[in-house]
């Protein structure tokens, strides 16, 4: 088990290194570059731009810039924002709670509804409910998240007035109830696609377990259908879902970027787009690395939990 953990951590560190290389070089080689925001300043001269580039170390070879950035990153110095000169890590941590709240709420909704729909679809296979769930999942997977967000705002905010159209709280309030009220629409929209994914996977896993010999043995012993379902079927069908939960972290982060933009939710996704618009490369790279760490931690935890609860993985 220890060898497995060390191996997974080693793979994660190597992947982080590759992500940093690709992300850094793509950003620096993109049109415009980090100096483009300073070039828009009225009255700035070529000499001024050269002096700023020298002060920021942007006139050095790209390899040297990357090595210097990586060395400072390993020491805990994530750099400073071009926009307001605040430490990058401080800027990210200011927006992290909003993203975690949105992702956590969406995950809870998706897991609860997805698992229930999947189980019901499996035990009522080829029923009207099963066909309706399948069609609904295909629609949810086919339609872009931002479209669902815009429709939700139009119907539930503009027409019905049930929920606010955006932001995380009402200015001057900020109570728990007010935050939860603002959370309903973005969390539901973000969870919609994941509900479809979880329900399809759970249906397949449940059907696979139902057809196993030990389930037939449990039924032959006279156990009630409810006891067989909840004691033997659901527990075993949930094992693959642990791995799925880890794999869904990147999709949640990508969905959060779109959802936070549509609902003006002050999270990391909104910060990422704003930083791209301002060519704030230190913040963009910081967000890229921070998101990569979150994804790798999610996958690593999912693998470790799977190995802990499933002896077959641990022994392999």
Q: List the pLDDT tens digit at each of the 316 positions of the chain.
A: 667 777 778 888 888 889 889 888 888 777 766 766 666 667 777 777 778 777 777 777 888 888 888 888 888 888 888 888 888 989 999 998 998 898 889 988 988 898 899 888 888 888 898 899 999 889 888 888 888 888 989 998 888 888 888 888 887 776 788 888 888 999 998 888 889 888 888 898 888 888 888 877 878 877 787 888 887 788 778 777 777 777 777 777 777 888 888 888 888 888 888 888 888 888 888 888 888 888 888 777 777 776 666 655 555 5
The conformation of residue 175, written as its DSSP 8-state character, comes to: -
pLDDT at 310: 60
Distance CA 224, CA 305 (A): 30
HSE of 200 in the Cβ direction (CA atoms, 13 Å)? 14
Contact 20, 70 (CB under 8 A): yes
Contact 194, 114 (CB under 8 A): yes
pLDDT at 117: 92
What angle do the packed helices 2-29 and 281-309 form, to 10 degrees? Answer: 160
| Cβ-based neighbour number of residue 177 at 10 Å | 9
The residues near 225 (Cβ < 8 Å, ≥ 6 apart) are 219
The model's pTM is 0.82
pLDDT at 53: 75
**224 — phi, psi (to 5°)?**
-70, 150
The conformation of residue 159, written as its DSSP 8-state character, comes to: I
Distance CA 314, CA 39 (A): 57
Complete DSSP assignment for 250-316: HHHHHHHHHHHHHTT--SHHHHHHHHHHTT-HHHHHHHHHHHHHHHHHHHHHHHHHHHHH-HHHHH-
The neighbouring-strand residues paired with 87 are: 80
- For 301, counting Cβ atoms within 10 Å of its Cβ (0-12 exposed, 13-18 middle, 19+ buried), the class is middle
The first and second tokens of residue 224, run together, are 């009630």
The first and second tokens of residue 18, run together, are 């590759």
């Amino acid at each position: 088990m220890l060898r497995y953990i060390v191996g997974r951590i080693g793979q994660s560190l190597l992947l982080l290194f590759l992500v940093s290389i690709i992300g850094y070089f793509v950003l620096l080689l993109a049109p415009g570059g980090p100096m483009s925001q300073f070039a828009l300043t009225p009255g700035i001269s070529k000499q001024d731009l050269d002096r700023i580039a020298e002060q920021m170390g942007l006139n050095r070879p790209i390899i040297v810039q990357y090595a210097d950035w990586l060395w400072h990153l390993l020491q805990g110095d994530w750099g400073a924002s071009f926009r307001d000169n605040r430490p990058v890590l401080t800027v990210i941590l200011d927006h992290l709670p909003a993203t975690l709240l949105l992702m956590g709420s969406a995950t809870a909704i998706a897991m609860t509804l997805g698992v229930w729909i999947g189980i019901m679809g499996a035990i009522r296979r080829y029923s009207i409910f099963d066909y309706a769930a399948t069609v609904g999942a295909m629609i949810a997977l086919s339609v872009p998240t931002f479209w669902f967000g815009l429709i939700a705002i139009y119907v539930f905010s503009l027409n019905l007035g049930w929920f606010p159209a955006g932001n995380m709280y009402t200015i001057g309030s900020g109570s728990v109830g007010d935050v939860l009220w603002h959370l309903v629409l973005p969390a539901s929209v973000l969870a919609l696609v994941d509900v479809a994914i979880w329900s399809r996977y759970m249906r397949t896993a449940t059907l696979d377990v139902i057809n196993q010999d030990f389930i037939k043995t449990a039924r032959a012993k006279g156990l009630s259908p409810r006891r067989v379902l909840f004691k033997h079927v659901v527990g075993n069908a949930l094992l693959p879902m642990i791995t799925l939960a880890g794999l869904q972290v990147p999709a949640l982060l990508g969905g959060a970027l779109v959802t936070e933009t549509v609902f003006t939710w002050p999270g990391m996704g909104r910060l990422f787009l704003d930083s791209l618009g301002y060519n704030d490369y230190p913040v963009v790279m910081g967000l890229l690395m921070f998101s990569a760490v979150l994804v790798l931690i999610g996958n690593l935890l999912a693998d470790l939990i799977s190995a802990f609860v499933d002896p077959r993985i641990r022994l392999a």
